[in-house]
Amino acid sequence: MTLIETTPIAGQKPGTSGLRKRTAVFMGPHFLENYVQATFDGTGGAAGKTYVVGGDGRYFNDRAIQVILRMAAANGALRCIVGQGGILSTPAASNLIRKTGADGGLILSASHNPGGPDADFGLKFNGANGGPASESVTAEIYARTQDITAYHIAETQDVDLGALGQQRLGDMVVEIVDPVADYAALMEDLFDFNAIAALFQGGFTMRFDAMHAVTGPYATAILEDRLGAAKGTVMNGTPSEDFGGGHPDPNPIWAKDLMDVMYADDAPDFGAASDGDGDRNMIVGRGAYVTPSDSLALLASKAHLAPGYQGGLAGVARSMPTSGAVDRVAEALGISCYETPTGWKFFGTLLDAGKVTLCGEESAGTGSDHVREKDGLWAVLLWLNILAETKMSVADLMAEMWGTYGRCYYTRHDYEDVEADRANAMFDGLRARLGDLAGEVFAGQTVAWADEFAYDDPVDGSHASAQGLRVGFEGGGRAVFRLSGTGTVGATIRLYLEQLETNAARLGLDPAEVLAPINAAALALSDLPAVTGRDAPNVIT
Ligand code: G16
C-alpha cells in the first residue's frame, strides 16, 4: 500500500450528476485519484465497505476502474462488485447496489456527452439506496477535494475485468459479475414478458437504437433473446469507446437515424433509444415523436396495466422544467405530484419515503421506485407492456391522452458554449427584474407571474435555491431559464418553453408554431440575444 502526496486540484466541484470533465483533464496527474480519495473521505471512509463499480464503457473506463479498485483496496474496502469488462449501465448499477446491500457505488460515465480522448469522462458516487449522492454529500466530497494532501493506492497487478467470479486485490475481494443478468431478472418481475412476447409474435415491429452505448447488450438480451423481437430490432448495439463517434443523447437531433426510420413509409410500430449509460430514453411511434414530458404523463396514466404497478401509484414527481402534463394526470388519479429541482438526486428522498412511485424529467429521464436512477430500458418495457395491453398505436395513445387532459406543447432550446460571464450577466439581469415583470407585455404575451425556483425537500427538509428562473404567461404559457449542470465547456443556457392547450380543435398542431410566441416573449424579456451574442439555439428538442 502506498501513500502518495498530492495537493488540491481546482475544478472538482460535482455538477447535476457527479463530476464531468474533458477526458484529458480526468487523465491528468492525480486528477482521478484526488477525486476518488475525496469521495471515500467525504462519505465516511472506505474501510470495511462494499462498493459496486462499473461504467458505460467509454474511453478510459477500464483504466479508471483499475485505479478505483487499487484505491478501494488501499483504503480498506472489503469488497468491490464490478460489471464484467467494467460495464454497468447506470440503472443496473443502482439495482446491484440495492440488491447486494452495498454501501454505495462508483459509476463512471458522462452520460449523454460524447466519449473518447477528446471528449468527456465522468464519475459519480451513489449511496446505499442506489441513488445519486445528495447535495450535502456532494458538498462534503467537494470540501475534501479542497483540503486533500495524500491518497492511498495499492501497487498491484491489474484485475482481470473479463473473468467472472472472485479475485483478490490485497485483502479486498473483487467480484466480477454479469452486468445484464440481475437487471433482466428485475425487469421480468415488473413487466408481463408473456404479453410483450405475444405482441412481437403477432407481427409487432420495433427498432431500438442503443447509439453504440451501454444498453446494446441489455437490449439485445431482453428484447431479442428473451422477448423474441426480430433480430436486428436493436441497432447500433455494440458499445464502443467513443459511441461510434456519435453523441449518445436520445433525442430527435442525435438519434436522427432512428427518427428517419420511424418517419419513413414503412416505419416499424415502435421506436426507442437510450443514452451513453442507459438511464435516458426516447420514445417514438410510427410518425409520432413523444416528448419526455408527455411520455411521463402517459406512463403515469397507464402504469397500472403492468404487473409491477397494478396496485396503482403512490404519487408522481417531475423536475421543475418538465411540462405540467403529468400534473394533470395525477390530479385525475387523485395522487400527489411533486415538483423538484433538475437532477435525479432530488427524487431519492421521495422514493425512499414511498411518497412517489413514478418520476421523470424533460431531459429524457423516466423511472420508478424499482431503482434509484432513471432507467431507459425500463421505460421502453413499460411502454411495450402498455402497447401489448391496450393494442393501441403510440399516436392513438397520445391523441387519447391529449383529448382527456389537454396537450402541453413543449420544446427546449439549448444555447451551448456561451461565455460564462455573458450567461451569468443574462441571469443576473433577469433575476433583478423578476419582481417587476407581472403585468408587463413582451412580444404580445402578458406576464402573469415570475419567480426563481427554490425547493424545500418535504422529507428531509433540505433547501435548494437558485434552481431556475420561471415566467408564466396569461393563457397558460411558461418559459424557464436554467443553466445546465452537466456541460464541460463554457455555459449552456437552457430555455424551456411550454403552452397548455385544451381546445380539442387545436391538439394536433406543430409544436414549433404553437410555441413561437412564448419563445419571442422569453427572448424579449430576457434580452438573451443581445447579452449573450447568440441569435439562435444550437439544439432544439
Ligand atoms: C443528469 C441528471 C438528470 C438531469 C440532467 C440535467 O442527467 O441525472 O437528472 O435532468 O442531468 O442536465 P443539465 O443540468 O445539463 O440540464 P444525465 O443523464 O446526464 O445523468
Structural domain span for residue 16? 2-178
284 and 172, same structural domain?
no
Q: Is the pLDDT of residue 537 over 90?
A: yes
Strand 19-22 and strand 120-126: the pairing is antiparallel
CB-CB contact of 413 with 537 (8 Å): yes
**Residues 396, 205 contacting (CB under 8 angstroms):** no
Task: Calculate ∠ Cα 413-318-127, nearest 5°.
Answer: 110
User: Of 349, 372, 405, at which residue does a domain stop?
Assistant: 405
pLDDT of residue 487: 75
Q: Are residues 395 and 429 in the same domain?
A: no
Regarding whether 422 and 391 lie in a shared domain, the answer is no
Q: Which H/E stretch holds residue 352? A: helix 348-352
Q: CB under 8 Å to 204, separation ≥6 — which residues?
A: 269, 270, 387
Please report, for residues 5, 49, 327, the alpha-carbon distance to residue 367 in angstroms, rounded to integers and kept in the order given: 42, 28, 16
Ligand 1 nearest-atom number relative to CA 275: 18
Q: CATH number of the domain that 304 lies in? A: 3.40.120.10
Name the band, by pLDDT with cuts 50, 70 and 90, for residue 1.
confident
pLDDT digits (tens, 9 = 90+) for 392-417: 999 999 999 999 999 999 999 999 99
pTM reported for the whole predicted model: 0.94
Report, as an integer, the average pLDDT of 507-516: 96
Report the SS3 class of residue 284: strand
Residue type, 276: G
Average pLDDT score over residue span 302-324: 98
The reply to whether ligand 1 has any atom less than 6 angstroms from the CB of 109 is no
Cα(345) to ligand 1 centroid in Å equals 10
Sheet of strand 469-473, all strands in order from the earlier edge strand to the far edge: 441-442, 445-452, 469-473, 477-483, 491-501, 407-418, 539-540
| CATH number of the domain within which 498 lies | 3.30.310.50
What is the CA(17)–ligand 1 centre distance, in A? Answer: 6
Is the domain of 9 the same as that of 67?
yes
Say if ligand 1 is within 6 A of residue 416 CB: no
Residue-wise pLDDT tens digits, 203-226: 999 999 999 999 999 999 999 999
Based on the fold, state whether residues 150 and 197 are members of the same structural domain: no
Same domain, 120 and 199: no
Ligand 1: residue whose CA is nearest its atom 17? 111
Q: Kind of pairing, strands 50-55 and 79-87?
A: parallel
Q: How confident is the model at residue 490 (pLDDT cuts 50, 70, 90)?
A: confident
Q: Is 345 near ligand 1, meaning CB less than 6 Å away?
A: no
Task: Provide the residue type at 69 as one letter.
Answer: L
Mean pLDDT value across the chain: 96
Residue whose Cα lies nearest atom 1 of ligand 1: it is 17
- Assess whether 415 and 399 both reside in one domain: no
Q: Would you name the residues annotated as active-site residues?
A: 111
**Is the per-residue pLDDT at 364 higher than 80?**
yes
Cα(439) to ligand 1 centroid in Å equals 33
Torsion of the alpha carbons at 65, 71, 73 and 78, rounded to the nearest 10: -80
**Pair 521, 444: CB distance under 8 Å:** yes
> Which pairs from 444-448 meet CB under 8 Å and 24+ separation?
444/517, 444/520, 444/521, 445/473, 445/474, 445/475, 445/477, 445/517, 445/518, 445/520, 445/521, 446/473, 446/474, 447/471, 447/472, 447/473, 447/474, 447/521, 447/525, 448/472, 448/473, 448/474
User: Is 56 in contact with 15 (CB distance < 8 Å)?
Assistant: no
B/e letters for 357-376, b = 16+ CB within 10 Å, e = fewer, are bbbbbbbbbbbbbbbbbbbb
Give me the count of residues in the chain.
541
Contacts of residue 432, Cβ cutoff 8 Å, sequence gap at least 6:
none
CB of 365 closer than 6 angstroms to any ligand 1 atom? yes
> How many domains does the chain contain in total?
3
Task: Name the residue type at position 147.
Answer: D
**Helix (H, G, I), strand (E, B), or coil: what is residue 320?**
coil
Residue 482 Cα to ligand 1 midpoint, Å, equals 12
Residues 365 and 223 in one domain: yes
DSSP SS3 for 523: helix
CA distance 388 to 217: 23
Residues 370 and 307 occupy one common structural domain: yes
C-alpha cell at 190: 415488473
Considering the domain architecture, whether residues 10 and 118 belong to the same structural domain is answered as yes
Last residue of a domain, one of 373, 405, 437: 405
In the block, cell 424551456 appears at 496
Maximum Cα–Cα distance for the chain, whole Å? Answer: 71
From 233-242, 286-295, 487-496, the region with the lowest mean pLDDT: 487-496
Which grid coordinates belong to 140?
462534503
Could you tell me if 449 and 400 lie in one domain? Answer: no
Which of the four pLDDT bands, split at 50, 70 and 90, describes residue 520? very high
Task: Quote the cell numbers at residue 464.
Answer: 435548494
In terms of DSSP bridges, do strands 172-177 and 79-87 run parallel, antiparallel, or are they unpaired? parallel
Which ligand 1 atom sits closest to the C-alpha of 280? 18
For ligand 1, is residue 122 a contact (CB within 6 Å)? no
Distances (CA, A) of 99 to 150, 312, 358, 386: 33, 24, 20, 27
Q: Give the distance (Å) from ligand 1 centre to CA of residue 343.
A: 6
Give me ligand 1 centre to Cα 16, in Å. 6
Output the CA–CA distances (angstroms, integers) from residue 307 to 13, 185, 187, 196, 509, in the order listed. Answer: 41, 14, 11, 12, 35
Quick one: pLDDT at residue 99? 97
Mean pLDDT of 472-482: 97
Is the distance from the beta carbon of residue 224 to the nearest atom of ligand 1 less than 6 Å? no
Q: Which atom of ligand 1 is nearest to the CA of 342?
A: 10
- Asked if residue 17 has its Cβ within 6 Å of ligand 1, the reply is yes
Q: Which of 405, 433, 462 is the last residue before a domain boundary? A: 405
- Whether ligand 1 lies within 6 angstroms of the CB of 167 is answered as no
Which residue type, as a one-letter code, is found at position 79?
R
The answer to whether the CB of 53 falls within 8 A of the CB of 81 is yes
Half-sphere exposure of 94 (CA within 13 A, CB side): 27
355 and 376 fall within a common domain: yes
